[in-house]
Structure 1
């Protein structure tokens, strides 16, 4: 028996998997776009979107679509390639040559791992593309939606900021009020300013305001200022506008900072925590779904292509339903949001272990 790490059989199996995987990963986005266009064409027309803007929005949507359908593409490629090997008795021939089923599917596991890495890349590429797509579909320019009004923000340092107007494009604040509660050894602070401006070098500079130092409930020392640098407000204008952004528009690190900011303000962030963890859990599904689909496909010799399509579609729908249940369970705080995001993988992984244990090697 050959002792080479990569054998001609490995190349053959990997090639068959890659062929089906490539066709699936190119065909699924087209199907998604056609369905979206049919469902929303009238809405797009009412917004006055041009054909060019609509086509560009679908171009921006490609990374997010690939991120979501990557596990399904791996499943289709696994089921159809293993199904083909089974129908033509190639797996039986490999077993007769001393190659176990687990060694036979090793190239598929390697390719699924590669797909997992690729999906992790898409999870980081998709958010900025999604942001541009949403702007296009809203009929706005890239500089629009930069203002935010009448909001409060709690900083890392324990200060509460109340802002009347934020302009991300101009990097300014208008009518700012800052409150910092005092403690046993330090006085409270209350700062009001007409304007604030952000630069990368200095951070936020407040202008035309009054600083109140409140050592106790009866004393109040007020000092007027023309300019005051607030080094405790470390968030950029884009981060201060973050509550208007969708989780799909933020990378993992951005979503983490966003969640922390909302937690400091006392907001419920359970659903967002589930969304954040899904950015990792969905790519890992590529590997788990391959281990699930490989033994399942060995029983497809009679059903042929129809069986493969049915199994793949049913599993995909089941997984999507699980994700929605995951968001609901984690969002309600019934279990840890991070754990909730892994429920689909845990269930599918458990089935995969059972099927792999029962397969004839």
Structure 2
């Protein structure tokens, strides 16, 4: 590496980490001010609060690092432009592509670190962050599916139930159907299902089992209340809404395949999480190029104009990311397109702005 590379690379990494260190305490302070009353009311132990904010830091640093990186690049590149350092570099015979090289090296280093963190470290932080939130701040509300749960629990059996209560481990209008090929073998139904965690058995109220016989000679078994073993764990039926975020790369892929077989209604939500683990690091490259193209020109308004343009672009990027992500989670819209569309759109914008900056 030459002096130019080291000079820009040190500014690139130094400004990024400085911005992170400045914003993380601000984020913690704002979050604590908002949550302090609930923490005190619930008498949350100090150590749990301490670990929560460690997880909070990792969780949001992983989520927002492309935006921090984008703003930090605009900040220090604008300073270079205002000090006419960029003009001096280019006047010495350095091409704009050559000037861009240390930025891409810095983006590569940060993106590799972010990729590892997103695949393995952030899931653990997400588990702690969300568990604390639903345990102490939301009291379990909206943490799991609670209505009209339909699952394929293995190759031959399907279940359906309504009004799941994960806290009390109960469900209403429970049905289990067993098939051999496409032929129904038997059907179990109950008005209420209760899981007894101590004995790992289920109590079914108004139990009814219909065994399908040949020539319509069905066998009907009925009990007002029956304790029995069923081929599934209660927790598997009501996965928490944030479960995909808590799994590392290997676990998430296995979980998605398992949920596909079970016919999960949330499969698109899980795919969005999986695709974002790859798209976020790539977005850092794209935003770095846009940031350099926007801030490399010396403007009459100085750094303030560049920062204003950068913040506007950052808000549009976040808007696209949230809107398309929500569309994929709540509809049949392709998660792959939803996650990668912002990168494609801003990738085209980066090419246009880069060509303009070169001129």
TM-score normalized by the length of structure 2: 0.75
C-alpha change, 1:181 and 1:348, in structure 2 (3 Å) is: same
1:249 to 246, 250, 268: 246
**Once the 2 structures are TM-superposed, how far is the Cα of residue 351 of structure 1 from its aligned partner?**
1.1
Change (3 A) 1:354 1:52: same
CA contact 1:95–1:101 (8 Å) conserved in 2:
yes
Question: What's 2:24 paired with?
Answer: 29
Residues 179, 191 of structure 1: 8 Å contact kept: yes
Q: Could you say which residue in structure 2 is the equivalent of 1:340?
A: 338
Change beyond 3 A, Cα 1:29–1:108: same
Name the CA shift for 1:91/1:283 in 2 (closer, same or farther; >3 Å). Answer: same
How far apart are 1:354 and its partner, in Å? 0.2
Deviates more, 1:151-160 or 1:281-290: 151-160
The aligned counterpart of 1:122 is 117
Aligned partner of 1:270 among 268, 271, 280: 268
Contact 1:300 1:307 in 2 (8 A): no
Q: Does 1:160 align with 2:155?
A: no
Alignment match, 2:177: 179
Alignment correspondent of 1:286 = 284
Q: Secondary structure at the match of 1:105?
A: helix
Q: Which stretch of the first structure deviates more once superposed, 131-140 or 288-297?
A: 131-140
SS in 1 for 2:358: coil
Q: 1:312 to 1:55 in 2, by over 3 A?
A: farther
1:306 to 300, 304, 307: 304
For residues 291 and 145 of structure 2, the distance between their equivalents in structure 1, rounded to whole angstroms, comes to: 48
CA distance in 2, matches of 1:354, 1:96: 23
**2:9 pairs with one of 5, 11, 14:** 14
Secondary structure of the residue that 1:181 maps to in structure 2? Answer: strand
Structure 1 residue aligned with 2:347: 349
Runs of 5+ unmatched residues, structure 1: 1-5, 169-175, 198-203
Q: Show CA shifts across 1:138-165 (max 9, x none).
A: 446xxx999999965313514114699x
CA distance in 2, matches of 1:245, 1:215: 43
**What is the TM-score when the length of structure 1 is the normalising length?**
0.74
Classify the secondary structure of the residue corresponding to 1:34: helix
The C-alpha deviation readout for 1:39-87, integer Å capped at 9, x for no partner, is 2322333333344432221111122111112101221232123222222
Aligned to 1:188: 185
Q: Specify the SS of the correspondent of 1:342.
A: helix
Give the match's secondary structure for 2:177.
Answer: strand
Aligned to 2:205: none
Structure 1 SS opposite 2:344: helix
**By how many angstroms is 1:340 displaced?**
1.0
- Structure 1 residues 113, 305: closer, same or farther in 2, change over 3 A? same
The answer on whether the counterparts of 2:256 and 2:270 sit within 8 Å (CA) in structure 1 is: no
